[in-house]
Amino acid sequence: MKNNQKNRHVYWNPYFGGFLLGILILFTFYITGRGLGASGAMKSSVVTIVDTVAPTHAENNTYYSRFINEEKSPMNTWLVFEALGVLIGAFLSGGLTGRIGWRTQHSPKITPKRRLAFALGGGILFGLGAQIARGCTSGAALSGMAVLSTGGFITMLAIFGSAFAFAYFFRKNWI
Protein backbone atom coordinates (compact mmCIF):
# COMPACT_ATOMS: atom_id res chain seq x y z
CA MET A 1 0.00 0.00 0.00
CA LYS A 2 1.33 3.36 -1.01
CA ASN A 3 1.98 5.92 1.61
CA ASN A 4 -0.63 8.38 0.36
CA GLN A 5 -3.26 5.67 0.39
CA LYS A 6 -4.05 6.36 3.98
CA ASN A 7 -6.54 8.61 5.59
CA ARG A 8 -4.72 11.64 6.79
CA HIS A 9 -6.87 12.10 9.81
CA VAL A 10 -7.37 9.79 12.68
CA TYR A 11 -10.69 10.27 14.34
CA TRP A 12 -12.15 8.90 17.51
CA ASN A 13 -13.64 5.46 17.62
CA PRO A 14 -17.25 6.06 16.51
CA TYR A 15 -18.68 4.16 19.48
CA PHE A 16 -16.66 6.33 21.86
CA GLY A 17 -17.83 9.51 20.12
CA GLY A 18 -21.39 8.24 20.08
CA PHE A 19 -21.24 7.34 23.76
CA LEU A 20 -20.02 10.82 24.71
CA LEU A 21 -22.64 12.41 22.48
CA GLY A 22 -25.33 10.32 24.13
CA ILE A 23 -24.13 11.35 27.59
CA LEU A 24 -24.17 14.99 26.44
CA ILE A 25 -27.76 14.71 25.18
CA LEU A 26 -28.75 13.12 28.48
CA PHE A 27 -26.98 15.88 30.41
CA THR A 28 -28.67 18.54 28.26
CA PHE A 29 -32.09 17.08 28.95
CA TYR A 30 -31.24 16.78 32.65
CA ILE A 31 -30.23 20.43 32.91
CA THR A 32 -32.59 22.16 30.49
CA GLY A 33 -35.42 19.71 29.86
CA ARG A 34 -34.86 19.90 26.09
CA GLY A 35 -32.41 18.52 23.60
CA LEU A 36 -29.72 19.88 21.33
CA GLY A 37 -30.19 21.73 18.08
CA ALA A 38 -28.30 23.25 15.21
CA SER A 39 -30.55 24.69 12.51
CA GLY A 40 -32.31 26.93 15.04
CA ALA A 41 -29.30 29.23 15.18
CA MET A 42 -29.35 29.66 11.41
CA LYS A 43 -33.05 30.45 11.48
CA SER A 44 -32.40 33.10 14.15
CA SER A 45 -29.67 34.57 11.97
CA VAL A 46 -31.99 34.81 8.97
CA VAL A 47 -34.72 36.38 11.09
CA THR A 48 -32.22 38.91 12.47
CA ILE A 49 -30.87 39.80 9.04
CA VAL A 50 -34.35 40.27 7.53
CA ASP A 51 -35.50 42.21 10.58
CA THR A 52 -32.52 44.55 10.28
CA VAL A 53 -32.72 45.04 6.52
CA ALA A 54 -36.50 45.24 6.17
CA PRO A 55 -38.18 45.55 9.59
CA THR A 56 -41.70 46.20 8.29
CA HIS A 57 -41.48 43.27 5.90
CA ALA A 58 -40.35 41.00 8.75
CA GLU A 59 -43.20 42.12 10.98
CA ASN A 60 -45.77 41.54 8.25
CA ASN A 61 -44.51 38.05 7.48
CA THR A 62 -46.35 35.42 9.49
CA TYR A 63 -43.23 33.31 9.96
CA TYR A 64 -40.58 35.88 10.88
CA SER A 65 -42.94 37.74 13.19
CA ARG A 66 -43.21 34.64 15.41
CA PHE A 67 -39.58 35.02 16.38
CA ILE A 68 -39.44 38.79 16.70
CA ASN A 69 -39.86 40.12 20.17
CA GLU A 70 -39.78 43.77 21.22
CA GLU A 71 -37.75 43.00 24.32
CA LYS A 72 -34.98 40.79 23.08
CA SER A 73 -33.12 40.15 19.89
CA PRO A 74 -33.86 36.89 18.01
CA MET A 75 -30.17 36.12 18.51
CA ASN A 76 -30.65 35.98 22.27
CA THR A 77 -31.82 32.38 22.32
CA TRP A 78 -30.48 29.17 23.77
CA LEU A 79 -29.79 27.64 20.37
CA VAL A 80 -27.67 30.57 19.17
CA PHE A 81 -25.44 30.37 22.24
CA GLU A 82 -25.22 26.62 21.79
CA ALA A 83 -24.20 27.07 18.14
CA LEU A 84 -21.47 29.50 19.19
CA GLY A 85 -20.27 26.81 21.57
CA VAL A 86 -20.25 24.28 18.72
CA LEU A 87 -17.97 26.57 16.71
CA ILE A 88 -15.63 26.97 19.68
CA GLY A 89 -15.62 23.25 20.50
CA ALA A 90 -15.00 22.16 16.92
CA PHE A 91 -12.26 24.76 16.59
CA LEU A 92 -10.59 23.40 19.74
CA SER A 93 -10.83 19.82 18.55
CA GLY A 94 -9.59 20.70 15.06
CA GLY A 95 -6.83 22.85 16.50
CA LEU A 96 -5.56 20.16 18.86
CA THR A 97 -5.34 17.64 16.03
CA GLY A 98 -4.06 19.99 13.32
CA ARG A 99 -7.09 19.86 11.08
CA ILE A 100 -7.58 23.60 10.69
CA GLY A 101 -7.07 25.15 7.27
CA TRP A 102 -8.93 26.69 4.37
CA ARG A 103 -9.86 23.94 2.01
CA THR A 104 -12.65 22.54 -0.07
CA GLN A 105 -13.03 18.84 0.42
CA HIS A 106 -14.25 16.92 -2.59
CA SER A 107 -13.87 13.67 -4.44
CA PRO A 108 -10.92 13.64 -6.87
CA LYS A 109 -13.43 12.97 -9.65
CA ILE A 110 -15.11 16.35 -9.36
CA THR A 111 -13.92 19.95 -9.43
CA PRO A 112 -14.03 22.21 -6.37
CA LYS A 113 -16.53 24.37 -8.24
CA ARG A 114 -18.93 21.47 -8.65
CA ARG A 115 -18.50 20.60 -4.99
CA LEU A 116 -19.35 24.13 -3.92
CA ALA A 117 -22.38 24.27 -6.23
CA PHE A 118 -23.70 21.04 -4.75
CA ALA A 119 -22.93 22.25 -1.23
CA LEU A 120 -25.02 25.36 -1.86
CA GLY A 121 -27.90 23.36 -3.33
CA GLY A 122 -27.75 20.81 -0.53
CA GLY A 123 -27.74 23.59 2.05
CA ILE A 124 -30.81 25.24 0.51
CA LEU A 125 -32.68 21.92 0.54
CA PHE A 126 -31.63 21.12 4.10
CA GLY A 127 -32.60 24.59 5.31
CA LEU A 128 -36.00 24.29 3.69
CA GLY A 129 -36.58 20.75 4.96
CA ALA A 130 -35.48 21.61 8.49
CA GLN A 131 -38.12 24.36 8.65
CA ILE A 132 -40.87 22.11 7.32
CA ALA A 133 -40.00 19.36 9.82
CA ARG A 134 -39.33 21.87 12.63
CA GLY A 135 -35.83 20.64 13.27
CA CYS A 136 -32.82 19.00 11.71
CA THR A 137 -30.84 15.86 12.43
CA SER A 138 -29.88 17.21 15.86
CA GLY A 139 -33.05 18.92 17.03
CA ALA A 140 -35.71 16.68 15.56
CA ALA A 141 -34.09 13.31 14.97
CA LEU A 142 -31.42 12.89 17.64
CA SER A 143 -33.02 14.82 20.49
CA GLY A 144 -36.47 13.56 19.52
CA MET A 145 -35.30 9.96 19.64
CA ALA A 146 -33.90 10.42 23.15
CA VAL A 147 -37.44 10.92 24.48
CA LEU A 148 -39.07 8.49 22.02
CA SER A 149 -40.80 11.30 20.12
CA THR A 150 -42.78 9.82 17.24
CA GLY A 151 -41.99 12.82 15.05
CA GLY A 152 -38.29 12.44 15.83
CA PHE A 153 -38.27 8.83 14.68
CA ILE A 154 -40.28 9.63 11.54
CA THR A 155 -37.94 12.49 10.63
CA MET A 156 -34.89 10.29 11.24
CA LEU A 157 -36.28 7.53 9.00
CA ALA A 158 -37.27 10.06 6.32
CA ILE A 159 -33.84 11.74 6.29
CA PHE A 160 -31.83 8.54 6.06
CA GLY A 161 -34.34 6.76 3.83
CA SER A 162 -34.35 9.56 1.30
CA ALA A 163 -30.59 10.04 1.47
CA PHE A 164 -30.07 6.33 0.73
CA ALA A 165 -32.67 6.45 -2.04
CA PHE A 166 -31.05 9.44 -3.76
CA ALA A 167 -27.45 8.37 -3.03
CA TYR A 168 -27.11 6.49 -6.33
CA PHE A 169 -27.68 9.64 -8.40
CA PHE A 170 -24.93 11.58 -6.67
CA ARG A 171 -22.35 8.81 -6.35
CA LYS A 172 -19.88 10.61 -8.60
CA ASN A 173 -19.64 13.42 -6.06
CA TRP A 174 -18.42 11.12 -3.33
CA ILE A 175 -16.88 7.88 -4.57
Residue 26, interface with other proteins (CB under 8 A)?
A: yes
Residue 109, interface with other proteins (CB under 8 A)?
A: no
Residue 43, interface with other proteins (CB under 8 A)?
A: yes
Residue 170, interface with other proteins (CB under 8 A)?
A: yes
- Residues 131 to 160 in contact with other proteins, rule: CB under 8 A: 131-140, 142-160
Which of 1, 70 has the CB closer to other proteins? 1
How far is the CA of 18 from the CAs of 14, 15, 38, 73, in angstroms? 6, 5, 17, 34
Residue 63, interface with other proteins (CB under 8 A)?
A: yes
How far is the CA of 10 from the CAs of 7, 98, 163, in angstroms? 7, 11, 26
Residue 31, interface with other proteins (CB under 8 A)?
A: yes
Non-local (6+) Cβ contacts of 174 within 8 A are 107
Least Å distance between CB 61 and other proteins?
6
- Residue 5, class by beta-carbon neighbours within 10 Å (0-12 exposed, 13-18 middle, 19+ buried)? exposed
- Residues 73 to 102 in contact with other proteins, rule: CB under 8 A: 76, 78-79, 81-95, 97, 99-102
Residue 6, interface with other proteins (CB under 8 A)?
A: yes
